[in-house]
Structure 1
Amino acid sequence: MDIGSLPDIESHRDLHIWIIENLKLVPVPEGAYGNFFEEHCYVILHVPQSLRATQGTPKDLHYWIGKKADAEAQGAAGTFVQHLQETLGNATVQHREVQAHESDCFCSYFRPGVIYRKGGLASALKHVETNMYNIRRLLRIKGKKHVSATEVQLSWESFNKDDIFLLDLGKVMIQWNGPKSSISEKARALALTCSLQDRERAGRAQIGVVEDEAKASGLMEIMETVLGRRLGSLYAAIPSRSINQLQKARVHLYHIYQKDKDLVIQELATRLLTQDLLHEEECYILDHGGCKIYLWQGRRSNHQEKTISFSQAQGFIQAKGYPTYTNVEVLNQGAESAAFKQLFRTWSEEQPRSKNLGLIRKLNQVKLDVVKLHSQPELAAQLRMVDDGSGKVEVWCIQDLGRQPVDPKLHGQLCAGNCYLVLYTYQRMGHIQYILYLWQGHQATKQEIAALNGNAEELDLMYHGALVQVHVTMGNEPPHFFAIFQGQMVVFQGSTQHSGKGQPAPATRLFHVQGTDNYNSRTMEVPARASALNSSDIFLLDTASICYIWFGKGCSGDQREMARRVVTVISENEEDKETVLEGQEPPHFWEALGGRAPYPSNKSLPEDVSGFQPRLFECSSQHDHLVLMEVVFFSQEDLDKYDVMLLDAWQEVRRPPLAYWDVSVSV
């Protein structure tokens, strides 16, 4: 097989598709992308071209099998995929796809949908003929987020109540909506119909939609002329084999190794899995409840085992009695997909942290320019800032299940035993915008958390649904939350005393000051003992007679400046403050902490999140379970009024403000 004749895969195009025809590779024209003939096999290569894609970003190599493809075509496709993978290197994720059971990753390439076409061989060379009106076909369109259209028999017997059908007559295209199809399914089917009109008829075909047969008599006459009169009533669609959501919770890890001439597969562990189970000299199979099979290959694993990766996975599927269309994903060490990583308790990247340390510090020291944030949305997204925090701030503390206004002089002073609503008002492009932060302390009760959500909904109604709600848990505040308090956010232990209630403050309190500017600074009360200190940071020790400002040896000048500003919140008396350098503490300092004790001296670094890509999920309910369907390589076009979406940005999870959902999808 001639690999040298392939086009330049590092060009501007992100998608490359080849069809296997007569055991040869034939490039598919770009205008025909999304059309697949069921008698063939295809190879699809996706090379990320987005702004966030880097040189090390994994490529995705798919091996697609039509339901009527013969064994020779499948073998040829598998051989080509193996050669191409060797050419591309280890930063390539291989996928085995079967018609009508493709992965979310595969479906995300083709919007508004995939079209399965009958026929093959010579007919496949002409995937799409623009302006071809001499055509009569019936397509069954189904799917919610990922839509597919399958060519079916031109007869009323192909119809059912649940799906949508497109009668394509060349110059006229009639979309018939099943009475049990949903609004979103109808809208997405129409998008696919319009796409066919544009791509195959140059926009000149007429489109008609049958929503109610009685009100569309003219279109029904055309359909009956082609299909004949319909006899009898329509049946419900045969339900497709759905994945049991509880089945997905069954995760098993198997070790694969060669013993003499036999290939041995040995079970190692079940969920929750840990990353240290994977060794670079070995290969492993991860069985995700029979829904998907992952084959992980260590960088120093046996070359022979790597070359038969798909056959290993297929043998495993057969031995387990899983359907032949079960999706397979082959990953090399260092190029693991997000879906694979999320099946482990934790996952740490191998790249040295020092490599990105300069970038992390640079981002933390950026002096924000409001104009730039508005004109450069990608910068605002990266820094997680909508402005510099200089807008209007209103704060309420949740007390007795209601909202208690907080004095502006006390803004930024929060208690771990309470919940707060922080309403931020600002202007963007001349329009008033609102952000409502729902801050939840670690020591808050379930009743207070429920009251927090209920009061947030009341405020949202008062503002006619204009509030963008952001749920924030103590210790995980976003940069903009810090900014609105101008670096003087202090979290006290216990409950608030705004209403005269609450716990009395202890005589000795210790506060940990972290941050270098208004956009990353927080002060947290910690246990008043010496072991809580850290040489890399600054601590405030407040006693009955004096407030010590303790500078660790590793703290910076910016940290010291922020500490001097926040100490006025802890102790208002200027004369009762004393600066103490690490190693020069007076005896009273250690007495207040209960004596000396070992404490960390290492430099704490912010988490490097530059390698994590955001993930978008469509939320739906299935048999009383919340089901998330991932939308890969997403854009704003994937959001519409029929969707409930969840955006996982690693440090933040954007979700609908529904108190009864408990969703966590960060890997």
Structure 2
Amino acid sequence: MGDSYIVLQTTTSKGGSYLYDIHFWIGKDTTQDEAGTAAIKTIELDAVLGGRAVQHRELQGHESDKFLSYFKPCIIPLEGGIATGFKKPEEEEFEKRLYVCRGKRVVRLKQVPFARSSLNHDDVFILDTQNKIYQFNGANSNIQERAKALEVIQFLKEKYHDGTCDVAIVDDGKLDTESDSGEFWVLFGGFAPIGKKVHNEDDLIPETYPAKLYSITDGEVKIVEGELSKGLLENNKCYLLDCGAEVFVWVGRVTQVEDRKAASQAAEDFVGSQQRPKATRITRVIQGYETNSFKANFDSWPAGSTAPGGEEGRGKVAALLKQQGVGIKGMTKSAPVIEEVPPLLEGSGKMEVESGASMAVPRHHCKKRMLVNSIVETAILFFIPTTRVRGKKITFYAVGLERIALR
């Protein structure tokens, strides 16, 4: 939870061009320097990819549905960062963990204190113990969240218990001292009434209101007067579009990298100065590659205004591959679209695993365990899935504040 990560999602449009979404994930205990580095590296990665990626800021506990959809069944952030050190799983003492499981389509899993006071009647909880995993269904919880919790339990069972532990379902309000319910409450010191759900700052939902456009010059944000139209956006400038629940940064095609970095920082400062809820999203779009949610805020947006980029993107990828000594056969115009993502930074480590697998990184290389389905790596990772293989292959590129040499 003390680290930051970069995730790159690559897809192919109907026209054959590559579409990129870059997410930088900020752990709750990430330092300001690490978070700043993640934002800067995101912009640098975008430049390598042709400068047309949509960038998303993801705060731990407030991730977008799009980001969460990459991880099946969910993300399980682990406590600590680089300084926590590395231990082999068999050397670790098993610690009971209590999670609240929310979400009907994508799962939002959050570890909460192992205490009766953490339970409530509205949510579904998962208690992971050494020999048994319990699912506690609050009386007012919905059936979709209960079903999603079972998927998470199956993942925990396979990942941390070698598929051998028992699973028990405990329903709120039903107490039987001879059953799994009795065992469950003994772990909390005995049965006692649980309280109502307590809302805190993390539960605040940002309000959506009519969009306001601001220009960004030298890091300064100034309101732009007039009805929102595409004609207000100049290709040599950066703008901020404030929609309340989401703040967009729009960058013109001819802006410099340093201007783009300054615009991203200005958006961070803007959200902070407004004391917005933590769930406020910040999304950066490039001229010609705007998202539909961005364009929907403008009164007029000409159809077919997307910038061309298929051949340009393939050319950049091919050039980078050739530079790294990788074959570029099949990257021509007539070839089928099969992307081989290039190495992003010289000297960065690389390893490949099949989806669903896990691996241990040697202690002298990286002081953390790395799992495909969990964010548990040192510093910053470029996570690049390839879409051409049914059994998804995943490549991790390690970069960040400390150079890491991986085998």
Q: What TM bracket, shorter-length normalisation?
A: 0.5 to 0.7
Aligned pairs for 1:500-539 (under 5 A) are: none
Q: Which amino acid is the alignment partner of residue 210 of structure 1?
A: V
Percent identity (aligned): 28
Q: Which residue of 2 aligns with 1:312?
A: 266
Cα shift at 1:255: 1.8
Q: Select which of 244, 250, 268 maps to 2:225.
A: 268
Q: Which amino acid is the alignment partner of residue 281 of structure 2?
A: N
Contact map agreement 1:132 1:170 (CA 8 A) in 2: no
Q: Which residue of 1 aligns with 2:66?
A: 105
Structure-2 separation of matches of 1:204 and 1:174: 14
Q: Which residue of 2 aligns with 1:561?
A: none
Structure-2 separation of matches of 1:187 and 1:161: 17
Q: Which amino acid is the alignment partner of residue 62 of structure 1?
A: H
Could you list the per-position Cα deviations for residues 481-532 of structure 1 after superposition, in whole angstroms to 9, with x for gaps in the alignment? xxxxxxxxxxxxxxxxxxxxxxxxxxxxxxxxxxxxxxxxxxxxxxxxxxxx
- What SS is found at the alignment partner of 2:240? strand
Aligned pairs for 1:53-452 (under 5 A) are: 55-123=16-84, 129=89, 134-212=94-172, 213-214=174-175, 217-238=178-199, 240-244=203-207, 248-258=208-218, 263-269=220-226, 273-288=228-243, 290-345=244-299, 346-350=301-305
Structure-1 separation of matches of 2:177 and 2:19: 50
Q: Which residue of 2 aligns with 1:494?
A: none
Q: Which amino acid is the alignment partner of residue 181 of structure 1?
A: S
User: 1:322 and 1:43, CA in 2 relative to 1: closer, same or farther beyond 3 A?
Assistant: same
Structure-2 separation of matches of 1:132 and 1:216: 32
Structure scoring higher RCO (CA < 8 A, sep ≥ 6) equals: 2
Kindly indicate whether residue 6 of structure 2 is the aligned counterpart of residue 43 of structure 1. yes
Could you list the per-position Cα deviations for residues 433-475 of structure 1 after superposition, in whole angstroms to 9, with x for gaps in the alignment? xxxxxxxxxxxxxxxxxxxxxxxxxxxxxxxxxxxxxxxxxxx
Q: Which amino acid is the alignment partner of residue 268 of structure 1?
A: E
Contact map agreement 1:253 1:287 (CA 8 A) in 2: yes
Structure-2 separation of matches of 1:352 and 1:236: 48
Q: Which amino acid is the alignment partner of residue 233 of structure 2?
A: L
Contact map agreement 1:280 1:333 (CA 8 A) in 2: yes
Q: Which residue of 2 aligns with 1:584?
A: none
Structure-1 separation of matches of 2:60 and 2:307: 41
Structure-1 separation of matches of 2:177 and 2:288: 57
Q: Which residue of 2 aligns with 1:21?
A: none
Structure-1 separation of matches of 2:216 and 2:242: 13
Aligned residues: 306
Structure-2 separation of matches of 1:173 and 1:336: 44
Q: Which amino acid is the alignment partner of residue 284 of structure 1?
A: Y
- What SS is found at the alignment partner of 1:170? coil
Structure-2 separation of matches of 1:131 and 1:189: 28
Contact map agreement 1:130 1:202 (CA 8 A) in 2: no
Q: Which amino acid is the alignment partner of residue 148 of structure 2?
A: R
Aligned pairs for 1:427-506 (under 5 A) are: none
Cα shift at 1:83: 2.3
Give the TM-score taking structure 2 as reference length. 0.67
Structure-1 separation of matches of 2:24 and 2:90: 27
- What SS is found at the alignment partner of 1:47? strand
Cα shift at 1:100: 1.3
Q: Which amino acid is the alignment partner of residue 112 of structure 2?
A: V
Q: Runs of 5+ in structure 2 lacking a partner?
A: 311-386, 388-407
User: 1:194 and 1:296, CA in 2 relative to 1: closer, same or farther beyond 3 A?
Assistant: same
- What SS is found at the alignment partner of 1:189? helix
Cα shift at 1:130: 9.3
Structure with greater Cα Rg: 1
Contact map agreement 2:102 2:123 (CA 8 A) in 1: yes
Q: Runs of 5+ in structure 1 lacking a partner?
A: 1-37, 356-632, 634-667
Cα shift at 1:287: 0.8
Cα shift at 1:174: 0.5
Give the TM-score taking structure 1 as reference length. 0.42
